[in-house]
Amino acid sequence: MAKPLHFAAFVMNTNSHIQHGLWRHPNAQQADFNDVNLWVNLAKTLEAGTFDAMFFADVVGLYGPVNGSYEVNAREGLQIPSNDPSVLLSALAVSTEHIGLSFTSSILQSHPFDFARKVSTLDHISNGRIGWNVVTSTLENAARNFGFDRLVEHDERYAWAQEYMDVVYKLWEGSWDDDALIKDKVSGIYADYTKIHKINHKGERYQVEGPHLPSPSPQRTPVIFQAGSSPAGRAFAARNAEAQFILAPNPEIARKGIAETREAVVAAGRQAGDLQFFQGLTFVIGSTEEEAKRNEAEIDEYISTDGFLAHINLGLDQATGTPLDPDMPLKDIKHEGNQSHVQWLRDANPDREPTVRDLAKITAKVRGRVVGTPEQIADNLAEWQEAGVDGINVINWTIPQSYELFIDEVMPVLRNRGLAKNESAPGTLRHKLTGQDQLPAARSHES
């Protein structure tokens, strides 16, 4: 019997997250994302369907070049309008019991003192079910929203992210001793100040005195997720992350990337298994292969090429906002943004350097798409698992239907094969993933 995979639902508090154009599908409800009930109901569905986590993506600016038009973004509802996922998580935390609640927050958007306090509060409210996807922001507009003229250079952003981590680790792990909170009405002592420590962080970007204001939450540090796979991104993950989101074009490439990243984890002084890998996949299900192909053709009718190109953030000249020559090789594009995507296209096309023309075509049609009967999908997931993947980040076409179909039609087959759990796991998110509620002592003391 196989070991159960973890399952996360990859969503965003917006209309059009990844599969642009699909919001127009008659069954799609994501256009109503302002309605909290859409998310509460989805969270309950996922929890009943034994998903381990919901994972909210987020950005803090527009896709596209600095002075480019955002007509496409607005027309497509492409990550604008969007709402803050962390605020939504508190509603989901009180409407659910078991499901992990992860969200994305950029080092750009919040001061680490304030961010650490917000996360501890959420971790208390949810009884330890919070995860944080650490991002550095790849959008020029995001940089301008937070007072910069332009994006900080790629590797420098990861150095900044490391200092950010150092500050929040000190607040979450080092500021309060386990027995600092006394809550004794008889003696009249609520907390023992000798066990609550200022952190006195003085670094290149931050000076934070402390102490952390919240008392320790069930996990202290939320489960740390990360999604970059450039050398700097991988080194950052090796040092900090507990789970990495990957979008490998096939299991063989995933196997190679996982092996390399695990080596980096060991080089960073951790155990190879301390970092888990979640592959992003999207499913088109049919009771027969033919029906699955028909469903796929139907989905393709809604796909918006404009939306895909705008999202990739690479198809336009970053200085002028004009479209790039379609035959331009990707290696000639100069950008400080997302480097993983270019690498992904190279890996998917080993015989030649991909061009700008390939960007939209390949991304829209094949990225992470699995089409077939529930049995064929189970075979496919077994291959990913065999390549070293620990979990699947399920990307939707339509909310909530993509998840309802997956839970009703695929999950039972996966359970029969031992590839999915039979019931929701109780406890903290970290406990679901690693069996521990908190970071190992060696890591929590490293800062």
Ligand X SMILES: Cc1cc2nc3c(=O)[nH]c(=O)nc-3n(C[C@H](O)[C@H](O)[C@H](O)COP(=O)(O)O)c2cc1C
Binding region for ligand X (CB under 6 A): 57-59, 104, 106, 135, 137-138, 227-230, 232-233, 245, 247, 280, 338-340
CB 132 to ligand X: min, Å: 11
Tell the smallest beta-carbon distance from residue 55 to ligand X (Å): 8
Q: At what angle do helices 85-95 and 36-48 cross, to 10 degrees?
A: 50
> For residues 63 and 176, which CB has a smaller minimum distance to ligand X in the complex?
63
- CB of residue 411 vs ligand X: minimum separation in angstroms? 21
DSSP 230: S
**Other beta carbons within 10 Å of 71:** 11
Q: Which is nearer to ligand X, 339 or 355 (CB)?
A: 339
Report the chain's terminal Cα–Cα distance, integer Å. Answer: 41
**CB atoms < 10 A from the CB of 409, how many?**
16
Burial of 186 (0-12, 13-18, 19+ CB in 10 A): exposed
DSSP state of 372: E
Between 99 and 151, CB nearer to ligand X: 151
Q: Which is nearer to ligand X, 142 or 292 (CB)?
A: 142
Q: Which residue is listed with tokens 């796929």?
A: 296
Give me the sign of the Cα torsion angle 354, 358, 362, 363. Answer: positive
DSSP 3-state of 10: strand
- In the complex with ligand X, the residue whose CB is nearer, 227 or 429, is 227
As a whole number of angstroms, the distance between CA 74 and CA 82 comes to 11
116/243 with CB nearer ligand X: 243
Q: What is the dihedral sign for C-alpha 216, 95, 37, 53?
A: positive
Task: Name the minimum Å distance from CB 217 to ligand X.
Answer: 23
Q: Which stretches of 231-277 are DSSP H helices?
A: 231-240, 251-267
List for the chain the helix, strand, coil content (%; round to 5). 45, 15, 40
Q: Smaller CB distance to ligand X: residue 151 or 199?
A: 151
Q: Among the residues of 55-208, which ranges form H helices? A: 71-76, 85-95, 112-125, 140-145, 154-169
* Distance of closest approach, residue 442 Cβ to ligand X, in angstroms: 26
- Nearer Cβ to ligand X, position 237 or 413? 237
Tell me whether residue 231 or residue 321 sits nearer to ligand X (CB atom).
231
Shortest distance, position 166 Cβ to ligand X, whole Å:
19
The Cα–Cα gap between 329 and 325 comes to 9
CA distances from 415 to 16, 296, 373 (A): 31, 25, 15
How far apart, in Å, are the Cα atoms of 320 and each of 64, 66, 69, 316, 356? Answer: 11, 8, 10, 8, 16
Least Å from the CB of residue 53 to ligand X: 13
Task: Please say which residue, 279 or 385, places its beta carbon nearer to ligand X.
Answer: 279
